[in-house]
Structures are given as structure tokens and as C-alpha cells.
Amino acid sequence: MNKPNERKLTIARAMAEAMQQEMQIDPSVFVMGEDIGALGGVYGNTRGLLDEFGPERIRDTPISETAFIGAAVGAAQDGMRPVVELMFVDFFGVCFDAIYNLMAKNTYFSGGNFKVPMVLMTSTGGGYSDAGQHSQCVYGTFAHLPGMKVVAPSNAYDAKGLMTAAIRDDSPVVYMYHKSLQGMGWLGTEAGATVHVPEETYTVEIGKAKVVRPGKDVTIVSLGMGVHNALKAAAKLEQQGVEAEVIDLVSLVPLDRDTIRASVAKTGRLIVVDEDYMSYGVSGEIIATVTEHDISVLKAAPKRIAFPDVPIPFARVLEQHCLPNPDKIVAAWDEMKAA
Amino acid sequence: MTPTREDQHWMYHNMVTSRRFEEAIAKIYFDGKSPVFNMANGPIPGEMHLSDGQEPVAVGVCAHLNPEDIVTATHRPHHQAIAKGVDLDKMAAEIFGKKTGLSGGRGGHMHIFDADVNFACSGIIAQGMGPAVGAALSRKMQGKPGVAVAFLGEGAVNQGAWHEAMNLAAVWNLPFVCVIEDNSWGISVPKEASTAIANNADRAAAYGIKGMRIEGNDPYAIYEAAGEAIARARAGEGPTLLEVETYRLAGHFMGDAEGYRPEGEKDDLFAKDPIPKMRARMLAEGAATEAELDAIEAESAARVEAAITFARNSEDPAPEDALTAVFA
Ligand SMILES: Cc1ncc(C[n+]2csc(CCOP(=O)(O)OP(=O)(O)O)c2C)c(N)n1
């Protein structure tokens, strides 16, 4: 996808650029969160914004997530377009009421009289031994609860377009970025996430999945970091003469069920890769999307590679045992083929 | 209440052990992480929050505690763990993610749990409040001795859980002490930018309990104030809120460029390093001889080296161990 002279950005810079451009054209957009000012965000996604917009619109908050996320709901209902950062998604535990009982429900409760046009951006993911309170994805937890859109970019192009779309959306959007894709060297960034990003503003549609690699033998569905694992697995499968089609969900809510169904109708085989916990989550939902629609398209039982239902352990060997990786995806194909 | 000669030696010993431990961790932490710093690499992966400079708080408080007393700590737990008597070998092994670690490598540096000395910590801000208050309640209900101490950073008092638990401790008159380590920074955000009042001990008034602020990162003053607070808790006279001025000599975590610090701040803080200060005071007041302090320092260094060696030489857990210990 990359041409030699094109500008490439990290996801962190792509997110910052989207916020910057929206703040330039819309005075109602502002950003709140911990360490998003002088530090530029722990993951770099607000870098440079304080210098351009000042502390009135780029607000460092106390460590008071219930207060500032609740406050964002109130500000959004009152005509502002706040972007708030929950530094690690794991911290939702201290402030979920403001998120799922207010942000997600006030539009409905008010019969549409109140809009809550806010973005909750939050980091997800592990793989660097940060243990069980700093490594989770909990995609399914957010996507399960009605009233919030949920997106998860796998690369910088989508990251910018999704952020712009999220800020302009009149509904609350949970924007879940993955630490390993962020472009922060200290988190060992996945190279495939840093791609060409146009300078002009553009949006990426929320609710539309992308076929990022076409194939006819098996459909691999994933999101965020999992897309890169799926692409690596697809490259390995290609050496065995297997053509895997890889779908990047991009958005969990709304979920683009048509794209998934169309792909599996073509390949007859489905592998879902999800860094979130296995049970009651994204992987089950994707499989149900296919099976409840038309089970006859399947030539084999679907497979899922997800984080086992245990808290995320610290030690490298323990965590790596649990995380999805390309080899596990290839192994799933091997089992599927043998079945 | 001044610490006895013996208490002073104990305090100094634990401060030095803690410092040597942090120095050892800091050095090893960068192994495998250069020339490119990637947190995932090296013998100690993940985030690392060091407590250099904050040792006086840990020893001044824990000097009054017994193994049966309860301590909850934060993402920056090593100094308190050492002062509370957590097994240093197993703690080091846990930080290295080894099978012999306190939790077999499941928890790591932000999740140090030692049931033998009733120590626990966690990585979510203010999260230790509820469990400490609950342990105090349990002791009261069971008629068992013991006080519970929650250590927190000054950033934590702006978290809802802090206020809720503080009120609960007060309304139920529990044997609880909240110790706020005010190092004036919550990552990059200075206290005055995040906190509406300068002195968090004033917040005690909101719960009708005693509050006290201790200036100067002074182990003697902390010892005295904590001694009173813990005695009050043991006597059934309810909770106390202490805020202690302290200094974070390290970055928020290892790898932190600390660009947010005003110029010269670090130099000023190092000039106030509490360890040489305590050494000088003990010598000046005749509480210890050079030879005694040298011996303490040598012992601390040897203890830390032994713990690090134990950790390094321990085996990794088996990968499948990840799937065990989820339920009791
Ligand atoms: C609920 C929650 N919000 C945010 C964080 C991220 N975080 C980790 S440490 C920290 C700063 C804590 O400051 P303070 O309580 O003063 O302790 P210190 O780091 O200075 O020891 C923050 C914001 C967290 N761990 N938990």
C-alpha cells in the first residue's frame, strides 16, 4: 500500500493530527485526560496539541475518571465535542457508570432530545509484560453494552479517519487503540501499523469492515493487533498454497456483518482472532453472525484464537502462552483442514 | 515519641535495603533494553516504578507495625514491601517473573502479595483503600488485633474510591491509617494542577477524623506521627489521615524522560536525599557509630545481592501455569 515518497505516520501521530484538524475547524472540540497536556499523552496521541491550543482546550485532569468522563457527558450534551482519554482501558473499572449508564444511554433515555457527541479514546492490549491491570482489551465488554459505537484501528490511515469520523459523530464513540501499534518505540511497535496518511482531513466510515487481503480458502477475521497477526499467518499459509482472506473489522459497533458473511460464503471456513478474553466476547459474536445467518456455507467448524479466560499474567512465558500469534492461527488452519 | 536507638537502626537498615534494591532493579531493568528501549525486553519486562527518595515514609510507618498488621500499597510498592517484611527473595523473583516468585510470576512488580506479612498492592490508583478498610473491619468484627494501613500517592485522593473508603473507615470507627506519600507529581501532572487544596490532611475534617501533614521527608517526624496514629487505631479510637511530604528521585517509571520537571528540581531533590541525611543525624546524635552504619550498609547490600541472585537463578514458570490459580 505504501509508495516510496508518501508520508507515513504512526497511529499516535495520526490520532493527534485528526484531533488537531478538527480543533482548528470546530471550537467545540476539546481534549481532557491524564497527562495529555505537557506530556502529550502516555502514548503520544496528543503530542503538540497543548502548544497549539493551550490548556483551556487541552486539559490535564486529576486522576478522577468518574468526574472527567461524567463531565464530558455533560459538556457533550451542552454543545461541546469532548475527546476524553482513559489512559488504559483496564481503568474502566473506576468509571464505568459514567460510560455505560450515562454516555451510552442518555441519547436513548431522552428519546433523542439529548445528543452525547463525545469520543472516549483508550489504550488496549498487552504483550509487554504489564500484567493483568494494564494489558487487557475488553473489546467485548464495551461492544456488548448498547449505546456506544466502538472502533479499533489497525493502522495509521484508519486511525486518523476514524478519529475524525468519531469526533464528527453525534453519538458517543469508544476509540480503542492498541499499544503495540501506537508507534511508541518503548512498546515495540508493529511496523505494519505505520502507513501512509494523507495530510488533508478525511473520514473512515464507522461500521464498515475492510477486506485487507483477499483469498478463497479461509476467512480470518480480526481487529487491532490481531489483523497484523492474521496477515502474518496468511503469508505463511500462502507458502502452503492456501489463500486466506483477512478481514479487519475496524468497527465493532456497528458491526459490518455483511462483509463477514459474504467472505465466509465464499471461503466456507472461518477463523476469528481476538486478543480479548475468549468467552462471551467478540469471537463468539463473529461466529454467531455467520452460523445464525446460514450455517450451510460452512465447510468446517469455525475456530477462534483468543485470550484464554484467565487474568493476564505478568511473566513473559505465561503471557506469551496466552496471546494470539501467527503460529496459533496456522495451527488452527491445520486442524480445520484435517477435520 | 522519638525512635529508640534500635528503631533507628531498623529504619536506616530498611531504607538502605530499599535503595540498594531499587538500584539493582534499575540496573538490570535496562539489560536487553538498549540500544532500543522496548519495555517488553530484558530480564525484567513491563513497567517499573521505583521508590527512591520515598523510603522515610515506608520505614517511619512500618516501624510501628507487626506482621499481623495489614498494608496495602500502590504501583510503587517496593519500599513499603521491604519495610513490611515481605520476603525479599520471593519478591525479587516475582519482579523477574520467576516460578519461585511470590505469585509464581503471575503478578509482577505491581502485584506484590505476601500473605505471611499481610501485604498487598495493585496498579489502579486508590484501589488499596477499600481492601485496607475492609481488613480493619474484619479485625474489628473478629475481635482480633491489628491495624490496616493504606499507602497512596497524593494523586489518589482525587479518586472517588478514596473518599468513599475514608468515610466508611470514619463512620465505622475502624483501626485504619491512610498514609499519603506526597511526592508532588502524578506522572507529569503537579499536585497544584490536580488538587484543589494544598494540604490533603485538611480533608480529614470532612470525615471528622484526625489529619496531619508531615513536612521534610523526615523519617523521625514520620515515625512520631505514624506512631500516634497507629496507637490511636490500636486503642479503638478510629482512623487517621497522614500526608507526608516526600520526594520521587526517579522518573514516574523507568524510561520516563521527565521533561515536565522544572529545571534543577532533580538536583535539589538529590541534595535532600533522606538516606545520607539520616546517617548524618544518627552520627551527630550518637545514635550509631560509623562502624555500625557501615555494617548495616554492608548487610543491606549483601541481602539485596542474595535476593537478586536467587531471582536470576530461579526457573521460569511453565507456560501452562498461566491457566492455573484462577479459582481457589
Ligand atoms: C484509576 C487509575 N487512573 C490512572 C492510572 C495511571 N497512573 C498510574 S500512576 C499515576 C500517577 C499516580 O500518582 P500518585 O498517586 O501521586 O502516585 P505516584 O506515582 O506519585 O507514586 C497514574 C495517573 C491508574 N493506574 N489508575
Class of domain B5-311: alpha beta
Proportion of chain B above pLDDT 90, given as a percent? 99
Whether residue A261 lies inside any domain: the answer is: yes
ipTM, interface predicted TM-score of the complex: 0.96
* Res. B199: pLDDT tops 80: yes
A228 and A157 share a domain? no
Per the annotation, the verdict on A65 as an active-site residue is: yes
B34 touches chain A (CB under 8 A): no
The enclosing domain of A315 has a CATH number of 3.40.50.920
- Residue A201 resides in a domain: no
Instruction: Identify the CATH number of the domain in which residue A45 sits.
Output: 3.40.50.970
Structure confidence by residue, pLDDT tens digits, B280-322: 999 999 999 999 999 999 999 999 999 999 999 999 999 999 9
Mean pLDDT of the B158-187 span: 98
Give first-to-last CA distance, chain B, whole Å. 44
Task: Find the residue in A nearest to B94 (Cα).
Answer: A315
CB distance from A71 to chain B under 8 Å?
A: no
Please report whether residue A155 resides in a domain: yes
Number of structural domains, chain A?
A: 2
Q: Do A71 and A175 belong to one domain?
A: yes
Nearest ligand 1 atom to alpha carbon A93: 1
**Residues B319-328 pLDDT 10s:** 999 999 999 9
Stretches where chain A sits below pLDDT 50 are: none
Domain boundary residue, one of A151, A174, A196: A196
Nearest CA in chain A to B319: A318
pLDDT of residue A2: 54
A228 occurs within a structural domain:
yes
Query: In terms of domains, do A142 and A97 share one?
Result: yes
B267's grid cell: 538536583
- A236 shares a domain with A282: yes
Same domain, A23 and A133: yes
Q: What are the pLDDT digits (tens) for B21-55? A: 999 999 999 999 988 899 999 999 999 999 999 99
**Are both A140 and A87 inside the same structural domain?**
yes
Asked if A243 reaches chain B (Cβ–Cβ under 8 Å), the answer is no
Q: Do A134 and B156 touch (CB under 8 A)?
A: no
The C-alpha cell of A13 is what?
Answer: 501521530
Given a contact cutoff of 8 angstroms between Cβ atoms, the answer to whether A149 and A124 are in contact is: no
Q: Whose CA is nearest to atom 17 of ligand 1?
A: B153
Per the annotation, the verdict on A134 as an active-site residue is: yes
Q: Of all atoms in ligand 1, which is nearest to the CA of residue A134?
A: 25
pLDDT digits (tens, 9 = 90+) for B62-98: 999 999 999 999 999 999 999 999 999 999 999 999 9
Annotated catalytic residue within A65, A245, A285, A319: A65
Domain membership of residue A88 (yes or no) is yes
Using alpha carbons, list the distances in angstroms from residue B75 to A133, A255, B123, B151, B194: 11, 37, 5, 10, 19
CA of B186 to the centre of ligand 1 (A): 6
Q: Domain range spanning residue A131?
A: 8-196
Q: What is the pTM of this model?
A: 0.97
Pocket of ligand 1 (CB under 6 A): A 34, 63, 65, 87, 91, 94; B 75-76, 123-125, 153-156, 183, 185-187, 248, 252
For residues A137 and A166, state if they share a domain: yes
Position A204 scores a pLDDT of 98
A262 & A120 share domain = no
In a domain, A3, yes or no: no
Q: Assess if residue A89 is contained within a domain.
A: yes
| Confidence at residue B5, expressed as pLDDT on a 0 to 100 scale | 98
Distance from CA of B152 to the nearest CA of A (A): 13
Of A63, A67, A134, the CB nearest to B186: A63
Q: Domain end: A141, A167, A196, which one?
A: A196
| Chain A residues near residue B316 by CB distance under 8 angstroms | 315, 317
Q: What is the mean pLDDT of chain B?
A: 97
Q: Does one domain contain both A141 and A14?
A: yes
